[in-house]
Structure 1
């Protein structure tokens, strides 16, 4: 079974210096261990992973908001 969007995003967060702790949709990106630069790097990695472009003024605060944003962009 393919990884869900959530699973793939969690892997990207971990690859960009995020915590090894369990991530949930409610986990704030800052609490996941990403500073502002790491958050930008994770967003760019998500763009590459999913073949989308995320607006620079999009500012998801939680893992769940990032998942919703990416899934909505993939539908368009």
Structure 2
């Protein structure tokens, strides 16, 4: 093989390696996007659940000062 044929072969191999890396990168990006999407859905559900819990509390979720003795179990 001549020097230009070797050079062409090396260039083709390099292009193939870059195409493979680009393909893996695209797959990883898609996986990360799906992970972010699912996490955003979970965050939204948790926010809604927190709102519902605050709505159910007698004081409307206002976190006023509390006496920790009121929270002791009855056996104390």
TM tier, shorter chain? Answer: under 0.3
Q: Provide TM-score, normalisation by structure 2.
A: 0.23
- The structure showing larger relative contact order (alpha-carbon pairs under 8 Å, at least 6 residues apart) is 1
Q: Provide TM-score, normalisation by structure 1.
A: 0.23
Structure with the larger helix share: 2
**Structure label with greater radius of gyration:** 2
